[in-house]
Structure 1
Amino acid sequence: MENTLYDILLDVSKSSMIDEGDLQTAGLLILSAATQGLQISRAGIWLLSEDKQAICGKMLIDGDDCKLDTDLCLARKDFPRYFNSLDSERAVVAHDAQHDENTNEFRTSYLIPFGITSMLDAPIRHRGEMLGIICCEHQGEMRTWSNEEIAFASALADTYGRAISAAQRNDYERQLKEINEQLEQKINDRTNVLQDALRNLNHTQAKLIESEKLASLGRLVSGLAHEINTPLGIAVTSSSHCASELKRVQKLYKDEALNEEEFAQFLAGLEDGLGLINTNLTRAATLVQNFKLSGSIHTANEEEQFELRSCIDLTLKSLQPLLKKNHINCVLLPGADITLNSYPGAIAQIVTNLITNSIHHAFHHTADKQIRIELNQTPEQITIQYRDNGCGIADDIRPKIFEPFFTTARRTGGSGLGLSIVYNLLTQKLGGDIVIDADQSQGAGFSIGIPCRA
């Protein structure tokens, strides 16, 4: 008998059904083992309610009949002595169930109707807590449960506790999977939102940069118009004077009053006038040519090989009207030619924005306004050192000056985009960086690093 119980218990313990997490399958296996090992036809699994005031049949084998989630429930208030015995969390061993003090409460309502004479209830424990019992019920002649049978029933109950752990593990895994799927979906949704926001931001940024380019060109056009007006005005005046003198000399000639002295004065005046016209028209043509070249640089979006010093010098020439209007002396320090593969339009925009920033913010209390630009080259990088002699950048705003829309000149029309566009062009377009010089006592200074190839 002992070997038989041991073999049955071993088979149950080794079965994969116990750890698959299916409580119905595991329960049927355990109850079948109980009926086989104890040679009974009736066995069930009963689980306590959460408040431990009732115990209900979860599964019942009665001969060839098997019931799941039975409607049998026993309340503590109706069977207090039985529940007191359960509270001890020990096996309820009733050799004579109908007269045992722990089970005789069931005599009329349960034991006699089902012909039960002996009961063996083994507690089911999970993580140290009693959850219910495996109830083994003997029908027929009263029997005495042996220690081996009590141990066997207790071991089956412990095995069911193992099955509960497997079921909980499966449930946790399912919940974790669902949580992971939900989290993954949330991450995907959030990623899509962020990607949309990033696309919108990049689109807006491109629009802002383009708008700033057009604004820069607008300032150049305004300054150029002012500068061209002077030589063209002189040329027009001189041309009118020459035409007037020509008419006067023609009249003298017709009236036969033209003498040698008058004709000599006319030729000398005509020569001076034509010289003024030629000089000023050449000056205007040079301004227009520089503007055309500067405009092509500002609007260039393709990477190309170019000479950096010439690019910056041409940009400064196009900005001369603006610099002259604000009485600023801007100098590109001399040095060797620097050839690189990059984006000349971006560099022209950077220089233009830095100078515009100095004009708007630096020179409110400066008499001799100066800007110095110096170029240096290493095998890996080109450095543009930019410095004005204005008021410098205050410590409290230095961390914010590259933020979009941050400006200290909002009331005077500042957009807060100039230095932000400089930073974005450098870091994203050119692959470089810009650093504020630590010493701002002599004016605002920036060190710009640009790789030799974008």
Structure 2
Amino acid sequence: MPNKNSEYRFNHILLKLSKLESIDSGLLEESFNIITKSVVEALNVGRCGIWFYNEKRTAIILNDLYESETQTHSSGAILDASDFPKYFDYLLEERTLPAVDTFNDPVTSEFLEVYLKPLNIVSMIDAPIRVNGKMIGIICCESVGVTRNWTMAEQNFIGNITDILARAVQAKERKEVMNQLERMNIHLEELIEERTKELEVQRARTANASKMAMLGEMASSIAHEINNPLAIIISLVSMIKRMDEKGSSKEDKDKALNNLIETSNRIEKIVKGLRFFARDASRDDFVHTSINQVIEDTLALCNQKFHQHGISIHYNICPDSIIYCQPVSLSQAILNLLSNSFDAINSLEDKWIRIECFETQTDVQITVTDSGNGINEEIRDKIVLPFFTTKEVGKGTGLGLSIVKGIVEQHGGKLSLDSGCPNTKFNIMIPKKARAA
């Protein structure tokens, strides 16, 4: 029986239990073991058990039972709810069930033959465990062989114990939700990483296909660019041969030979640039490269095409700037801008393109300006979107500027449209060195 200081003692035990780290860590087994033993000792009863409904709420399952006589814990017993309707109906509506005479109490007598008599449980105080207003389980405190008149302090104590049990259950549920969210986040990150890799592969394929398409468009111009010096070489070889037959002076021969070498070098440069540009550069390493070299290699591929269509290209040699880049990819970005300019101004009377470079302490800015009238404000935000095009059907994929943007951003740079320019002007900002991660 509780003594006059029982209320103080109960409060002390409740405080101690409420501070258990296992309660808010969701460690139910550890928490239940401590609570059942503490309740048995506090109420001086023979048994204390914690039961929870199964998933279908058709039965209650014993999660932990502590018995004072054996000082042991056990679990696993099952009671069908349909066999004890009065008991469960009562607990659905009440805070506690203080049964002094369990054998004759109208609520607890349902357990007489299957539970109470076999275990000699003559008094019991039970209480529902509620979470969010719903009964999910029961705590049962059972006096073996000794009749107990349960005090209000004892009833309040066991009611407060159910609040602590509910807290432990909610902590476990939160922990499970957090673990599930963590697993979902990990899975999502894996999916994003996988999708990013797929998109990167697709971007590289698309960029390479676009590059091949541009080379196809320039094929005739490149062939002309090579055929002209070839004709000159053939003519020079014939001329040198005649010089030998005529005994021409060494000075004349040297002049012809130098012309031959210069023309051969021109072809070599074109072929080298073509091979350099045509290969798959998506996995190239980033290297420190002269920006002038990148632009000159790009112009070598398209100069003839622009010249044939009466488009003048003005390029002022940049400062001797070194940038950190994939030369082939950056060349493609510049060539895409030049190709867009070609399509935009080819039908105009005034046809020109200007390439300029500006250097800051950390970046190099490449600008490509053409004689077009700029881009309408309504579509400025759309022009870099994949597959957006203002060209006639069949005359553009809508990937040009999207590819440029992707390449520039891959370099840690930025592509922008100068909306303040009366003509069409794109700016590429590329860092001289690798950006810090």
Quick check: TM above 0.5? yes
Alignment CA distance shift 1:453-1:218 (3 Å): farther
- The number of residues matched between the two structures is 407
Whichever residue aligns with residue 193 of structure 1, its letter is E
Report the CA distance between 1:339 and its aligned residue. Answer: 0.9
Give distance in 1, aligned partners of 2:311 and 2:134. Answer: 87
The structure number with the bigger radius of gyration is 1
Q: How does 1:4-403 map to 2 (within 5 A)?
A: 5=6, 9=10, 13=14, 14=16, 19=23, 21-22=28-29, 25-26=33-34, 28-29=36-37, 32-33=40-41, 36=44, 68=75, 70=77, 87=93, 89=95, 91-92=97-98, 94=100, 98=104, 102=106, 119=123, 121-124=125-128, 126=130, 132=138, 134=140, 136-137=142-143, 139=145, 145=149, 149-158=150-159, 160-169=161-170, 171-176=172-177, 178-201=179-202, 203-204=204-205, 207-208=208-209, 211=212, 215=216, 218=219, 221-225=222-226, 227-228=228-229, 286=262, 288-296=264-272, 299=276, 303=287, 306=290, 308=292, 312=295, 316=299, 319-332=302-315, 338-342=319-323, 349-364=332-347, 366-390=348-372, 392-403=374-385
Give distance in 1, aligned partners of 2:407 and 2:53. Answer: 71
Asked if 1:434 is matched to 2:435, the reply is no
Give distance in 1, aligned partners of 2:233 and 2:21. Answer: 101
Whichever residue aligns with residue 372 of structure 1, its letter is R
2:353 aligned counterpart, secondary structure: strand
List gaps (5 residues or longer) in structure 1. Answer: 247-266
Give distance in 1, aligned partners of 2:85 and 2:334. Answer: 93
Alignment CA distance shift 1:417-1:230 (3 Å): farther
Whichever residue aligns with residue 168 of structure 1, its letter is V
Report % sequence identity.
Answer: 17
Give distance in 1, aligned partners of 2:257 and 2:371. Answer: 35
Deviations, residues 92-115 of structure 1 (Å, cap 9, x unaligned)? 4547964x7x56966986899579
Whichever residue aligns with residue 175 of structure 1, its letter is E
Whichever residue aligns with residue 388 of structure 1, its letter is D
Give yes or no for contact 1:297–1:348 (8 Å, CA) kept in 2: no
Asked if 1:447 is matched to 2:427, the reply is yes
Alignment CA distance shift 1:164-1:231 (3 Å): same
Give distance in 1, aligned partners of 2:425 and 2:264. Answer: 32
List gaps (5 residues or longer) in structure 2. Answer: 278-283
Whichever residue aligns with residue 444 of structure 1, its letter is T
Give yes or no for contact 1:18–1:163 (8 Å, CA) kept in 2: no
Deviations, residues 348-405 of structure 1 (Å, cap 9, x unaligned)? 55554433332233222x2242333344445554444432224543444433444455
Q: TM-score, normalised by structure 2?
A: 0.64
Whichever residue aligns with residue 323 of structure 1, its letter is F
Give yes or no for contact 2:405–2:414 (8 Å, CA) kept in 1: yes
Q: TM-score, normalised by structure 1?
A: 0.63
Show the counterpart of 1:256. none
Aligned-pair Cα RMSD in Å: 5.6
Report the CA distance between 1:314 and its aligned residue. Answer: 7.6
